[in-house]
Amino acid sequence: MKLAFLGLGVMGYPMAGHLAKAGHDVTVYNRTAAKAESWIKEHGGQRAATPAEATRDAAIVLMCVGNDDDVRAVATGPEGAFAGMKRGAILVDHTTASAELARALEGEAKGKGLGFLDAPVSGGQAGAQNGRLTIMVGGEEASFRIAEPVMRHYGLAVTLMGSAGSGQLTKMVNQIIIAGTVQGIAEGLNFAQRAGLDGKKVAEVIGKGAAQSWQLDNRYATMLEGKFEFGFAVNWMRKDLGICLAEARRNNSALPVAALVDQFYQHLQDRGGGRWDTSSLIHLLAKP
Ligand SMILES: NC(=O)c1ccc[n+]([C@@H]2O[C@H](COP(=O)([O-])OP(=O)(O)OC[C@H]3O[C@@H](n4cnc5c(N)ncnc54)[C@H](OP(=O)(O)O)[C@@H]3O)[C@@H](O)[C@H]2O)c1
């Protein structure tokens, strides 16, 4: 299939790589051209100078950029993806962005005879590299049916959640739960260390019981060691929690813990930890 992939960052680069490895003809675009250059050296395919040029012949266009503004910059405008796509083509946006934007872009796509799916992902850099992402999709079923087998090349679970924006709303639920979970683990492990317990032994025992979680399994060791220079950045999490808090104001849901944890992440940014992994919440407790 002729595909285009826009945005070769930490997530996009390996995701696009899975499509090439599966035998698809992939044209890539990246704002910083050097990344696109190294991608085609590694995977073949073509690179284009603008999103419009990259998407011209593609049946499906996939993208993964930063935030709402970045999605707009890449999808719309004279050099954007929509300007290049042929009628019937589908734009799949893997960026974590607002549900409002997803609905607006679906409307714009429809007006041009195009399909649109919001399809944020969970599973981090490792999930993108080993092709085991969870993908939460919003949009029309007809577009989903066409795009799903392509997303399966890097998605272990690919689920249509409902109409446009439902993928982003589901990702918000994911981030709300993660925020509270990571803070709980940070408090528990900090308590364990101050109580004189062996933190590793504690995490391993309770990880086999009701306190088990992905975050505990995958982050306890580095949290205990105070290592945070990897993973899902605090800056990204603040972007995501900002989206959640704005949506909660609209749908009248209370997010007291997520709002508090967002402030803790702001303290971490003030400490220079904007690029640290989200598990760095324990830093505030270990070094108040
Ligand atoms: N990293 C994770 O663990 C993770 C997990 C789940 C979801 N996500 C979400 O996935 C998305 C991408 O994350 P990432 O970690 O891959 O980020 P990243 O490494 O910073 O990559 C961002 C990509 O978007 C491009 N980009 C950003 N703004 C742009 C603009 N205005 N115009 C054109 N291109 C633009 C960047 O191009 P340049 O190379 O030119 O900068 C880069 O290719 C985010 O929404 C993030 O929240 C990330």
Does 274 sit in the ligand 1 pocket, CB within 6 Å? no
pLDDT band at 127 (very low <50, low <70, confident <90, very high): very high
Closest CA to 187 of 218, 215, 210, 208: 215
Residue nearest to atom 15 of ligand 1 (CA): 10
Cα–Cα distance measured from residue 146 to residue 169, given in angstroms and rounded to the nearest whole number: 22
Query: By alpha-carbon position, which residue is closest to atom 42 of ligand 1?
Result: 9
Average pLDDT (223-231) is 96
> pLDDT per residue over 229-249, tens digit each?
999 999 999 999 999 999 999
Which mutation among 13, 31, 71, 243 tests ligand 1's pocket best, with the greatest number of atoms within 8 A of CB? 31
pTM assigned to the model:
0.97
DSSP assignment of 99-121, as one string? HHHHHHHHHHHHHTT-EEEE--E
Q: Is the CB of 51 under 6 A from ligand 1?
A: no
- Using CA positions, which residue lies closest to atom 31 of ligand 1? 70
Q: Which DSSP helix (H) or strand (E) runs through 115? A: strand 115-118
pLDDT tier at 211, thresholds 50, 70, 90: very high
**DSSP per position, 215-233:** HHHHHHHHHHHT--SSSSB
- Contact call for residues 33 and 47 (beta carbons, < 8 A): yes
- Write phi, then psi, for 108 (nearest 5 degrees): -65, -40
Beta strands 121-122; 133-139: pairing state: antiparallel
pLDDT of residue 138: 98
Phi/psi for 160 (5° steps) reads: -80, 120
Q: CA nearest 91: which of 52, 46, 121?
A: 52
84 lines ligand 1 (CB under 6 A): no
What is the per-residue pLDDT for 98? 98
- Spatial separation of the C-alpha atoms in residues 12 and 279, rounded to whole Å: 23
Q: For ligand 1, is residue 31 a contact (CB within 6 Å)?
A: yes
pLDDT of residue 15: 98
Provide the pLDDT for residue 84. 98
Looking at residue 37, its pLDDT comes to 98
Q: Give the per-residue pLDDT at 267.
A: 98
pLDDT recorded at residue 35? 98
What DSSP state is assigned to residue 196?
A: T
Per-residue pLDDT, averaged over 142-167, amounts to: 98
The Cα 36–Cα 32 span in angstroms is: 7
What pLDDT was estimated at residue 147?
98
Q: pLDDT for 100-114, tens place per residue? A: 999 999 999 999 999
What is the spatial distance between Cα 272 and Cα 13, in angstroms, rounded to a whole number? 27
Per the listing, tokens 């995701």 go with: 15
Q: Would you say the CB of residue 70 lies under 6 angstroms from ligand 1?
A: yes
Give the integer Cα–Cα distance in Å for 172 and 175. Answer: 5
When pLDDT is averaged across residues 187-197 and rounded to a whole number, the result is 98
Residues 20-29 have a mean pLDDT of 98
Which residues are known catalytic residues?
171
**Pairwise CA distance, residues 112 & 106, whole Å:** 10
Distance 128 CA to ligand 1 centre (A): 13
Using pLDDT thresholds of 50, 70 and 90, give the confidence band for residue 168.
very high
Which of 8, 11, 101, 279 best tests ligand 1's pocket when mutated (most atoms within 8 Å of CB)?
Answer: 11
Predicted local confidence at residue 274, as pLDDT = 98
Evaluate the CA torsion angle 104, 247, 215, 190 in order and state its sign.
positive
Q: Is 7 in the pocket of ligand 1 (CB under 6 A)?
A: yes
- Quote helix, strand, coil % in the chain, to nearest 5: 55, 15, 30
pLDDT average, residue stretch 267-279: 98
